[in-house]
Structure 1
Amino acid sequence: MKKKKGNVSDKIFNIVIYSFFILFTILCVFPFYYLFINTISDNSLSAKGLVNFIPKGIHFTNYLDVLKLKGLGQAAFISLARTVIGTSLTVIASGFLGFIFTKKEMWGRKFWYRFVIITMYFNAGIMPWYITMMNLKLTNNFLAYILPSIISPFNIILVKTFVESIPESLQEAAEIDGAGVLTIFAKIIMPLIKPILATITIFSAVGQWNSFTDTLFLVTDQKLFTLQFVLYKYINEANSLAALIKNSQSGIAVANLANMQTATSIRMTVSMIVVLPILFVYPYFQRYFVKGVMIGAVKG
């Protein structure tokens, strides 16, 4: 009898838990679904807020037309380049520094580790940061997207903690065989810390891809504008852009947009363009994410 009651209570508990997570998943997914169905629906209906659950008047011309906006291709290339290069260098630097800070024989190890970590708690502010970047000749410079983000104290902490969970005997055995620091890092440590590196890759890639404030403060050269900054401008200027599109006759792309686009369609479409790349990249690294964060956050 007790067993039967236990089974019933377990089933009720499972139903409640599954129902909760299904509802939570729907709440998380629905904003993306709502955004998408409005980008492929009749623009006039979308502008009036009449598209809520089911797309109406399905078409895909919004994506084709918005992609023709001036400067979008170059901006996408800059964003892709900064994401790939910046993420790669951040992951390598975080991995190596996190490993080095576990080596007890490192000169001044505690001092340098604290010197890096203390930057998490103190920020000089926007003006000193801008003056520093200007003095380093990083205004209107592609390196402004790369260099400041290479060293991340939070990432270093995650890697250091992860490396400390690896048995020291592996490194000691390699040292006995004559392996140096770089060899140990490349051939022993790197393969073992893939989960935490994948986690850092997600953090860094999302941050690089979504960033636009550095462009806002440091870049005036349109050739160095990132996709997010261009789309940020389009979203903020959607009403005036839609009016310009309707009244302008300067170019094929503008002429095509004049017949169809509204401020709402521009906002929805450019927002979807920003989100899509991360939605494709994240699932690939997600399998490492939980393991990486758990091991990197708790010293075992």
Structure 2
Amino acid sequence: MGEKEKVAKVREISGRRKNKIKYSVGDHIFQIINYTVFTLITLICVYPFYYIVINTISDNKLVDLGRVMFYPIGLHFDNYVNIMKLPNMGTGAINSVARTVIGTVLCTLITSYMAYLFTKEELWGRKVWYRLTVATMYFSAGLIPVYLNIKMLGLMDTFWVYIIPSLISVYNMVLVKTYIESLPASLEESAQIDGAGYFRRFAVIVLPLCVPILATIALYSAVGHWNNFMDCLLYIQSPKLYTLQYILNMYFRQAAQLAQQIANGTVSANEQALNALTPTSVKLTVTVVITVPILLVYPFVQRYFVKGIMVGAVKG
């Protein structure tokens, strides 16, 4: 009997065994309850975002009255068109994408290398430096000292104020350190015998093995960079350096003021026609615009996320 025939016969036997499995009434009831519960949980998780999306493409007056619940009414896409017509939107989008990509790459590499160094027992004062670093997670100098520090470093009103202050994430460093400590030491020892230094061992051996945890902390860093607008509010004065989130937040405040002017009758009919957005529609549209890019990135790192966070969080 050939190899292929043996494999086919084994599959046939295993298939017969599966067909012989009989489920009791209790098993069927359990499966029905199980599927029902998980379907309800899925709907509870998905519905809020679905609710926001259908409200952004529905009649703004009906949205303000709370009449849009399960399907769009008065379908239109004017909210997104009006949002994209805002001044500096293109520049803001470029700034947000640039700070997210550059900040995420540099933060992931530098944080992981710092974590790698803390795994080396030969590092002078390793435990002391590690504890001092972790202490920064719980103690902060405050807003004013940080502002003065950034000003003295010459980072005010520059693009690098988005990148340099966030190069190190202590929480992510702890996760990566724990993950590296779970790797077999023999892999690195063989490279050390061949004369490889710390950086070469990290780049060639450790880094490729840390893809799950690196994808996890990269996601954390990307979300933080993409959503942050406080640094733009505090440190940036030039409109050409505004981020997308700051511009949208600024427009939201302007839309609220406009709605108040309309209520007071101080805005003409032509101006009302040009500014059909309401504060509620602005808030919902901004939420979708800011959230969608991260939702598009998440599926690519989801398979690494659970493994990375579980292994990296076993011990600290």
What is the match of residue 261 of structure 1? 277
Partner of 1:34: 51
- d(CA) in 2 for partners of 1:248, 1:171: 72
Distance 1:8 1:178, change over 3 A: farther
Q: Quickly say closer, same or farther: Cα 1:104–1:8, change in 2 above 3 A.
A: farther
**Which residues of 2 match residues 1-300 of structure 1 at below 5 A?**
7-241=24-258, 247=267, 258=274, 260-299=276-315
CA separation of 1:248 and 1:158: change in aligned 2, threshold 3 A: farther
Offset at residue 11 of structure 1 (A) = 4.3
- Displacement of 1:9 in angstroms is 4.3
Q: Which moved more, 1:61-70 or 1:153-162?
A: 61-70
1:288 maps to amino acid? Y
CA–CA separation in structure 1 for the residues paired with 2:188 and 2:295: 38
Using the alignment, how far apart are the partners of 1:26 and 1:110 within structure 2? Answer: 47
Cα distance in structure 1, aligned partners of 2:314 and 2:273: 53
CA distance in 2 between counterparts of 1:87 and 1:74 reads 20
Structure 1, residues 127-184: CA drift from partner, whole Å, max 9, x if none?
Answer: 2222222222222121111111111111111011000000100000111122221111
What does the per-residue CA deviation read over 1:249-296, in whole Å, with 9 as the maximum and x for residues that have no partner? 9xxxx9796164333322221221111101111111111100000011
CA drift of 1:7 comes to 4.5
- The CA distance in 2 between the partners of 1:203 and 1:257, in whole Å, is 41
The letter for the 2-side match of 1:134 is K
Rounded Cα–Cα distance in structure 2 between residues aligned with 1:18 and 1:98? 42
Rounded Cα–Cα distance in structure 1 between residues aligned with 2:221 and 2:24: 45
Q: Is the 8 A contact 1:116 1:153 kept in 2?
A: yes
Deviation at 1:120, TM superposition (A): 0.8
RMSD: 2.6
Q: Aligned equivalents of 2:32 and 2:42: distance in 1?
A: 15
Report the Cα distance in structure 1 between the residues aligned to 2:119 and 2:255, rounded to whole angstroms. 51
Which sections of structure 1, spanning at least 5 residues, go unmatched? none
C-alpha displacement of 1:233: 1.9
Helix, strand or coil at the partner of 1:49:
coil
TM-score (norm: length of structure 2): 0.85
TM-score (ref. length: structure 1): 0.89
What's the secondary structure of 2:136's corresponding residue? helix
Q: 1:136 to 1:14 in 2, by over 3 A?
A: farther
Quick one: which amino acid aligns to residue 129 of structure 1?
Answer: V
Identity %: 50
Amino acid at match of 1:166: L
Which deviates more, 83-92 or 57-66? Answer: 57-66
Between 84-93 and 7-16, report the one with greater CA deviation: 7-16
> Is the CA contact (8 Å cut-off) linking 1:65 and 1:256 kept in structure 2?
no
Give CA deviations for 1:155-214 in whole Å, capped at 9, x if unaligned: 111011000000100000111122221111111111100000000011000011001111
Going from structure 1 to structure 2, the CA distance change for 1:7 and 1:106 (only over 3 Å counts) comes to farther
Question: Taking structure 1 as reference, are residues 134 and 10 closer, same or farther at Cα in structure 2, changes over 3 Å only?
Answer: farther
Q: Deviations over 1:88-134 (max 9, x none)?
A: 11100111111111112222222222221111111121122222222
Preserved contact between residue 255 and residue 277 of structure 2 (Cα < 8 Å): no
Of 145-154 and 133-142, the range deviating more from structure 2: 133-142
Structure 1, 284-293 or 266-275: larger mean CA deviation: 266-275
Count of residue correspondences: 293
Query: 4+ runs of 1 displaced by more than 3 Å?
Result: 6-18, 241-249, 254-257
- Deviation of 1:41 after TM superposition, in Å, equals 1.4
For 1:137, what is the secondary structure of its paired residue? coil
